[in-house]
Structure 1
Amino acid sequence: MVLLVVLAWAVVTIGCWIGYQLTQQNGRILLHLESLQHQLTNLRLRSAQPTPALACYPDTYQANRHTI
C-alpha cells in the first residue's frame, strides 16, 4: 500500500515538473515571437519612409543625353 502511494506521488511530481518545464519553454517562445514581431514592425516602418537620396529628385527628372 505504501509503495502505491509513493508511486502515485512520484507520478504527480514528475507530471508537475514536466508541466513547469513546458510552461517555461512556452514563455521563452512567446518572448522570442514578440521580439521578432517588434523587429518586423520596425523594418516595415523604416521601409515605408522614402530615403533622402531618392526624395531629392522630382518625378519629372530626366537626364541630359549627349551624343558623341
Structure 2
Amino acid sequence: MSDPDPELRRPTDRTCERCGREEMWRDGSWRVAEVDGERRVGSVYCVHEWDINGTFVPFDDGSGRPAGSA
C-alpha cells in the first residue's frame, strides 16, 4: 500500500526583515498583525523583504515531519 499524497502546508504569518512589519493570513489575504493592541505596520515606504529563508517546508506527510524526511 502506498503512502497518501503529502498535504500542502501554507504559512500563516510573516515578518519584514527591513522594517518589522508583521502580517498574518486571514480571510484569504495577508492582514497587518496586531500585537498587544498595536498594529505592526512597519514603514509605508519599505519594499518588504519577508523572512523567507528556506526552513519552511510546504509539504507534510501526516507524520508530523516534513515530507521526505527520515
TM-score by length of 1: 0.19
Comparing both structures, which one devotes a greater share of its residues to helix? Answer: 1
Q: Find the structure with the greater CA-based Rg.
A: 1
